Amino acid sequence: MNLLKKRIGVLGGGQLGRMLIEESTRLNLHFNILEADANCPCAALANNFILGSLMNEEKIRELAAISDVLTYEIEHVNTIALLKLEAEGKTIIPSPKILQMIQDKGLQKEFYAKYEIPSGKFYLVNNKEEWHRLIPLLGSEKIVAKTRTGGYDGKGVAILNAQEMIDFPERIPFDGPCVLEEFIECEKELAVIVARDTLGNIISYPSIEMEFDPTANLVTMLISPARVGSIIEEKAEEIARKVIHHLNGPGLFAVELFMDKAGNIFVNEVAPRPHNSGHHTIEACYTSQYEQLARILLGLPLGSTEMVQAAGMVNLLGAKNFSGEYRLENLDAISKLPGVFVHLYAKAESKPMRKMGHVSILAKSVEEVIEKANYVLKHLKFVQD
Ligand code: ADP
């Protein structure tokens, strides 16, 4: 295989695409990026940059024409255009058929039910009128409503009181097609990243645990391996691999899971791309999630997912109180810490809560990882320049 000539076309020019480029340029790959924002994180690194919307079929065809294989780093793309291209013989990984199912949270839940993959109870509704009949059947005090399409990062998701929605239907937040889910009393939220090559081999990464701030209910850091013990670890990875087995096509996927107090595991959703929860794999694993995707795109064997050390990750978010040009405070002090890796995404402007970068942390023990992560969280801040 002539690796020197392989041209990868990526829909989306965000930080996930940037890290895909960073992690696989040493394989001499050529990256073509399609993105609507000329100042995006991939702009300076792409070999070829096409400025255009990820919904624009013409632009997607322009990207396809100069690429040997296509992938995407975001789900909100023109799937119909990709399906047509695939039917015409273009290699797209993961297949847009998988993407189409994942884009619809209703179809996703039906998929889990069909293959007996544990995921909470659910009902599909088409409009507000159907809610009151189905809510009691979920049997939980709280319910979770999700718009079937178009949601991301918690938008289009509402945690609601079941009785209140029956008594006061005017408070129902979404009209139109939704999934109503039983609320799972979650002890931990986990993620397992799974890779599947073009031959059907499947490998999983050690699980990742989201650490929440109990007061703000925000994810503060990610820790891997998750502190769940070997039985649950095995169960989580097995369930995640089962999801990818039934998806039936190559790609790199992140499976988001809930663990309840009794240690039961439920699938929440799957992302068909590198994931925020897998940033630490760059330093912490023999093969990062990004290199793994590159290997899959190239038809190379999967790389080892073994961890070098325990790891953590904190997101660097834009400060709540300003938008504009920024600088990073206390970078000097952070840079002196061993096993601490700062990643910046080259975003032109900081905006409140915008993902501006992340820090990966490696240490001999999870306890030490958490200690260093807390230090980073306390000191490293984006401030107005
Ligand atoms: P998005 O795709 O926008 O990230 P998710 O489906 O992941 O939305 O839901 C966002 C968050 O809502 C989850 O991370 C979890 O904390 C909570 N959540 C979602 N579904 C449930 C559920 N069935 N039970 C309990 N919490 C849930």
Mean pLDDT of all residues in the chain?
Answer: 94
CA distance 31 to 24: 10
Residues 231 and 351 in one domain: yes
For 103, the enclosing helix (H) or strand (E) is helix 96-103
Dihedral-angle region of residue 153 (phi above 0 means left; psi in -120 to 50 means alpha; beta otherwise): left
Residue 383 has a pLDDT of 85
Residues 40 and 136 in one domain: no
Residues 171 and 201 in one domain: no
For 178, the enclosing helix (H) or strand (E) is strand 178-182
Give buried/exposed letters for 183-199 (b at 16+ CB in 10 A, else e): bbebebbbbbbbbbbbe
pLDDT digits (tens, 9 = 90+) for 57-90: 999 999 999 999 999 999 999 999 999 999 999 9
Residues 129 and 234 in one domain: no
Residues 29 and 51 in one domain: yes
pLDDT digits (tens, 9 = 90+) for 244-274: 999 999 999 999 999 999 999 999 999 999 9
Residues 162 and 281 in one domain: no
Sign of CA dihedral 343, 347, 350, 355: negative
Residues 281 and 363 in one domain: yes
By the 8 A CB rule, do 290 and 45 touch? no
Between the CA of residue 68 and those of 17, 29, 248, 294, what are the distances in Å? 17, 11, 22, 13
Residues 177 and 241 in one domain: no
User: Is the residue at 112 inside a domain?
Assistant: no
Rounded to the nearest angstrom, the distance between the alpha carbon of 152 and the centre of ligand 1 is: 10
pLDDT digits (tens, 9 = 90+) for 298-348: 999 999 999 999 999 999 988 888 899 999 999 999 999 999 999 999 998
120 Cα nearest atom in ligand 1: 23
pLDDT greater than 60 at residue 3 = no
pLDDT above 90 coverage of the chain, percent: 88
Q: Give the domain-ending residue among 182, 201, 227.
A: 182
- CB of residue 112 inside a 6 A radius of ligand 1: no
- CB of residue 300 inside a 6 A radius of ligand 1: no
- CB of residue 268 inside a 6 A radius of ligand 1: yes
User: Is the residue at 313 inside a domain?
Assistant: yes
For 282, the enclosing helix (H) or strand (E) is helix 281-284
CATH code, domain with 78: 3.40.50.20
User: Is the residue at 108 inside a domain?
Assistant: no
Rounded to the nearest angstrom, the distance between the alpha carbon of 183 and the centre of ligand 1 is: 9
Residues 364 and 349 in one domain: yes
Residue 219 has a pLDDT of 77
Q: Which residue has the tokens 């847009």?
A: 96
Residue 44 has a pLDDT of 95
Residue 216 has a pLDDT of 63
Q: Give the domain-ending residue among 182, 202, 232.
A: 182
By the 8 A CB rule, do 118 and 239 touch? yes
Q: How many domains does the chain have?
A: 3
Rounded to the nearest angstrom, the distance between the alpha carbon of 130 and the centre of ligand 1 is: 22
By the 8 A CB rule, do 311 and 358 touch? no
User: Is the residue at 84 inside a domain?
Assistant: yes
Q: Give the domain-ending residue among 182, 206, 233.
A: 182
By the 8 A CB rule, do 70 and 91 touch? yes
φ, ψ (nearest 5 deg) of residue 279: -60, -40
DSSP category for residue 53: -
- Domain, as residue range, for 51: 3-92
pLDDT greater than 80 at residue 213 = no
Higher pLDDT: 382 or 216? It is 382
**Residue whose CA lies nearest to ligand 1 atom number 20:** 144
Mutate which of 103, 157, 160, 259 for ligand 1 pocket (most atoms within 8 A of beta carbon): 157
- CB of residue 41 inside a 6 A radius of ligand 1: no
- CB of residue 158 inside a 6 A radius of ligand 1: no
What is the token pair recorded at 187?
Answer: 């002890």
Between the CA of residue 89 and those of 2, 53, 298, what are the distances in Å? 21, 23, 17
Indicate the range of 1-15, 117-131, 179-193 predicted with least confidence.
1-15
Residues 213 and 302 in one domain: yes
The pTM of the full predicted model, rounded to 2 decimals, is 0.96
User: Is the residue at 154 inside a domain?
Assistant: yes
User: Is the residue at 103 inside a domain?
Assistant: no
The mean pLDDT value for 169-184 works out to 95
Residue 47 has a pLDDT of 96
φ, ψ (nearest 5 deg) of residue 42: -85, -15
Residues 216 and 129 in one domain: no
Confidence category of residue 214, pLDDT binned at 50, 70, 90:
low
Count Cβ atoms below 10 Å from residue 155 Cβ, excluding itself: 9
DSSP category for residue 183: P
Mutate which of 76, 103, 144, 180 for ligand 1 pocket (most atoms within 8 A of beta carbon): 144
Confidence category of residue 385, pLDDT binned at 50, 70, 90:
confident
**Residues pairing with 231 in the sheet:** none
CATH code, domain with 133: 3.30.1490.20
User: Is the residue at 265 inside a domain?
Assistant: yes
User: Is the residue at 283 inside a domain?
Assistant: yes
CATH code, domain with 309: 3.30.470.20
By the 8 A CB rule, do 277 and 191 touch? yes
CA distance 180 to 183: 9
Residue 243 has a pLDDT of 98
Rounded to the nearest angstrom, the distance between the alpha carbon of 299 and the centre of ligand 1 is: 34
What is the token pair recorded at 170?
Answer: 């005017």
Residues 34 and 87 in one domain: yes
